[in-house]
Amino acid sequence: MPTRALACAIDVIIQFFVLSAILGLLFGFLFSEEPSDALAFVLVAVPVLLVIVGYRLVMETLTRGRTVGKMVLGLKVVRDDGSSIRFRHALVRTLMWFFVDFAPWFAASPGIVASLMNKQGKRIGDMVAGTVVIRERHQAMASPPLFVPAHLVGWAQSLELSQLPDELANTARDYLARFTELQPAARAALGETLAHRVAQVTAPAPPAPMIAPAFLSAVLAERRRRELSRLAVVRPTQTGPFAASPYTVPAVPYTPPSPYGALPPEPVHVFAPPPPAAAEATPATHNAQGWATPGSNQSGW
């Protein structure tokens, strides 16, 4: 609450100076032309409304959830699922801010009371728009310890990852890095959503049901291994005593201890990959790990 209040104060100060400059120009026109009372009211009310409403609407739309005050204090408005807001979210939040949350005819109390009573500090505009204000400024977040279980290394190496966009991969990586900070319900729901989105652009599906965090970790670990392998392809061509030493790729461990700590007390949500397309049935065989898989070759599949 104090951080959001300070960010709001910064925005109000900026709006005050902009509005003062506009009204100063209009008052010069009013005193020189002597317009009617109705025209004078319109010339004053319209700029006030445009500055108060338009400032927040334009800033939050163009910056995807930030005003100048929020930038200074390290705050950002996001949707409940963590994605960036759009014009409609900014419009609903702004109108509710002006007409309900901090309306002078309500003594600016509904927004404060709602924020104090809500666990996430949401005001009424956030509840209606489906948004939440988060703190962006934090210490540098270390990369999550990605891993692939030993019995799934062969499956990971056969993954088709060319359709996995960078934005989705970064979102999944941020989710794993913040895994222990999320509430259990939000953690399970967001993990399932991300796992299904990743499964739709990767193939083949895992040979056995996996929990969503483990599936995401395996996909990202294999993606990182391939990126490091591509970097290792480039070798220096110079020779002699002053030639640069070849770049070596650090080994990527496949089976470190689980980075998620103890299992949460809530029931474990198992990620079930989408059913594969219909294909010709082939005899099932068992590999060295005991997984029943269609067909067989020298790699154990």
Q: Are residues 33 and 15 in the same domain?
A: yes
Quick check: is 57 in a domain? yes
Q: What percent of the chain has pLDDT over 70?
A: 72
Q: Are residues 64 and 16 in the same domain?
A: yes
Question: Is pLDDT above 80 for 289?
Answer: no
Compute the average pLDDT of residues 244-265: 45
Among 111, 135, 159, the domain-final residue is 135
Quick check: is 176 in a domain? yes
- Residue 234 is predicted with a pLDDT of 55
Supply the DSSP string of 6-47, one letter for each residue.
Answer: HHHHHHHHHHHHHHHHHHHHHHHHHHHH---HHHHHHHHHHH
* Position with higher pLDDT, 206 vs 259: 206
**Which H or E run contains 197?**
helix 184-200
Among 92, 117, 135, the domain-final residue is 135
Question: Is pLDDT above 90 for 91?
Answer: yes
Q: Check residue 183 and report its DSSP letter.
A: -
- Residue 196 is predicted with a pLDDT of 92
Compute the average pLDDT of residues 287-293: 44
Query: Residues 56, 94: contact at Cβ < 8 Å?
Result: yes
Q: Are residues 129 and 31 in the same domain?
A: yes
Which of 18-22, 103-107, 227-231, 237-241 shows the lowest per-residue confidence on average (mean pLDDT)?
237-241
Question: Is pLDDT above 60 for 36?
Answer: yes
- Calculate the alpha carbon distances from 156 to 149, 164, 224 in Å: 9, 14, 12
- Residue 198 is predicted with a pLDDT of 93
Q: Are residues 87 and 103 in the same domain?
A: yes
Residue pLDDT, tens place only, 222-241: 999 998 888 876 555 555 44
Which of 106, 109, 18, 83 shows the shortest CA–CA distance to 56? 18
Compute the average pLDDT of residues 245-263: 45
Q: Are residues 20 and 86 in the same domain?
A: yes
Query: Residues 55, 13: contact at Cβ < 8 Å?
Result: no
Quick check: is 290 in a domain? no
Quick check: is 295 in a domain? no
Q: Are residues 130 and 9 in the same domain?
A: yes
Q: Are residues 77 and 17 in the same domain?
A: yes
- Residue 286 is predicted with a pLDDT of 45
- Residue 263 is predicted with a pLDDT of 41
Q: Are residues 10 and 113 in the same domain?
A: yes
Q: Are residues 130 and 94 in the same domain?
A: yes
Question: Is pLDDT above 50 for 103?
Answer: yes
Binned at pLDDT 50, 70 and 90, residue 181 comes out as: confident
- Cβ-based neighbours of 251, under 8 Å, separated by 6 or more: none
Compute the average pLDDT of residues 198-223: 89
Compute the average pLDDT of residues 252-281: 48
Among 91, 114, 135, the domain-final residue is 135
Residue range(s) defining the domain that contains residue 218: 143-233+249-261
Which of 157, 162, 195, 163 shows the shortest CA–CA distance to 176? 195
Quick check: is 271 in a domain? no
What average pLDDT does the chain have?
A: 77
Q: Are residues 187 and 212 in the same domain?
A: yes
Q: Residue 12 phi/psi, 5° resolution?
A: -65, -40
- Residue 39 is predicted with a pLDDT of 75
> How many domains in the chain?
2
Q: Are residues 131 and 149 in the same domain?
A: no
Compute the average pLDDT of residues 105-122: 86
Binned at pLDDT 50, 70 and 90, residue 109 comes out as: confident
Quick check: is 272 in a domain? no
- Residue 242: count other Cβ atoms within 10 Å of its Cβ: 6
Quick check: is 288 in a domain? no
Binned at pLDDT 50, 70 and 90, residue 160 comes out as: very high
Q: Are residues 122 and 224 in the same domain?
A: no
Compute the average pLDDT of residues 160-187: 88
